[in-house]
Amino acid sequence: MQRFVNDPDDIVDETVRGFIKAHGDLVRLHPNNDRVVVAHGVPARGRVGIVTGGGSGHEPAFLGYVGRGMVDAVAVGELFSSPTAKAFLEAVRVADGGAGVCVLYGNYAGDNMNVKMAQRMAAKEGIEVLTVVANDDVCSAPPSERAKRRGVAGEILMWKVGGAKAALGASAIEVRDTAQKAIDATRSVGIGLGPCTLPANSGPNFTIEPGTMEVGIGHHGEPGTEVVALETADRVADRMFDIVFSDHDLSSGDRVCVLLSGLGATPVNELYVLYDRVERRLAEAGVAVHRAFVGNYFTSLEMVGATLTVMKLDDELAALIDADAQSPGLSVRATGGQ
């Protein structure tokens, strides 16, 4: 395994420590819990707190999206594992400025269980906790079972919207409803070309035979809908577009926000090659890209592959996506640009 690792048991400690050192201008470690990262200025009195959390190995997700106008506190799990209920609870407590907290997270069994537990414990302390469960991953369940779908890179756009809505002084219910609207308007798909290896394991988590690719793969190597022969970049982009588009209610005249993320080991230039084609397909469908993010936004260790996320925008979502935000993983200037 050609990797930079000390004792695999220490990797999350070291990642969080390095992250806090590198981004100390924006974030800090929770004083009593080394699995909770907090934005400066949090809690903000009278403002709804935004919390998320998830397993490590997806950097810059999840901790990289803590900052201004984004996530206030994040619960950090072990590699590919849910954070504990205690970490979620501490994140909720620290993010609560008296106006309640919205936990915006992805649909995984461990996260569901631990967020619910934290929610109950927080309720006993008088903290109102509302939740939104992201399920943007189209291939993880059919349309008739959308609630079973996993949350993937669309979560980043949900955090952006939720963070911006909270910054405007909205109530917890308004923030929750807007974040829910955001993720309901979002579809994602992943294509895997190569597996990843958890440092404590001797071999890859799963297998992708050279010359093939897995369509609809999940962020931890969860099986997709099919394994097909490796295709050209354009055909892969077409496939991603078709999967997202056919599940979406997009039509000519619509505006979208697009996030095209590498899964870890795919060269950055190839993400732009994919994006070039995706944008063309959107344009042919009469759909305008209001804003695009291309890069390593939500990775899976050194998995080879990419994900496409498309959020349909109404005027409110467009304004919230454009609102000022500053975090190590994503930065938007209210005046335009990143």
Catalytic position from the list 23, 58, 219, 248 = 58
Segment interacting with its own copies (CB under 8 A) among 130-138, 160-168, 246-254, 292-300: 292-300
Nearer to its own copies, 41 or 142 (CB): 41
For the bound state, the minimum distance from the C-beta of residue 16 to its own copies, rounded and expressed in Å, comes to 8
Contact status: 265 vs its own copies (CB under 8 A): yes
40 is catalytic: no
- Considering the complex, what minimum distance in angstroms separates the CB of residue 316 from its own copies? 20
Least distance (Å) between residue 129 CB and its own copies? 28
225 lies in the site for its own copies, by CB under 8 A: no
**In angstroms, rounded to a whole number, what is the distance separating the alpha carbons of residues 183 and 133?**
8
Is the CB of residue 157 less than 8 Å from the CB of residue 321? yes
CB-wise, 60 or 224, nearer to its own copies? 60
Count the site residues for its own copies by CB under 8 A: 69
Q: Amino acid identity of 162?
A: G
Q: How far is CA 9 from the centre of its chain?
A: 24
Residue with Cβ nearer its own copies (225 or 331): 331
261 binds its own copies (CB under 8 A): no
**Cβ closest to its own copies, residue 98 vs residue 199:** 199
Q: Which of 294, 308, 310, 313 binds its own copies (CB under 8 A)?
A: 294
Query: Is 58 marked active-site?
Result: yes
Instruction: Give me the least distance between CB of 69 and its own copies, in Å please.
Output: 11
* Stretch 86-105 residues interacting with its own copies (CB under 8 A): none
Nearer to its own copies, 143 or 336 (CB): 336
Residue 286 as a binder of its own copies (CB under 8 A): the answer is no
SS3 annotation, the chain: CCCCCCCHHHHHHHHHHHHHHHCCCCEEEECCEEEEEEECCCCCCCCCEEEEEEEECCCCCCHHHECECCECEEEEEEECCCCCHHHHHHHHHHHCCCCCEEEEEECCHHHHHHHHHHHHHHHHCCCCEEEEEECCEHHHCCHHHHHHCCCCCHHHHHHHHHHHHHHCCCCHHHHHHHHHHHHHCEEEEEEEEECCCCCCCCCCCCCCCCCEEEECCCCCCCCCCEEEECCCHHHHHHHHHHHHHHHCCCCCCCEEEEEEEECECCCHHHHHHHHHHHHHHHHHCCCEEEEEEEECCCCCCCEEEEEEEEEEECHHHHHHHHCCEECCCCEECCCCCC
266 makes contact with its own copies (CB under 8 A):
yes
Question: Which residues within the stretch 44-63 sit at the binding site for its own copies (CB under 8 A)?
Answer: 56-57, 59-60
Catalytic positions are: 58, 220
Binding site for its own copies (CB under 8 A): 2-6, 11, 14-19, 21-23, 25-26, 56-57, 59-60, 67-68, 193-194, 196, 208, 210, 213, 230, 232-234, 236, 260, 264-277, 279, 289, 291-296, 299, 301-302, 304, 306, 326, 328, 331, 333, 336-338
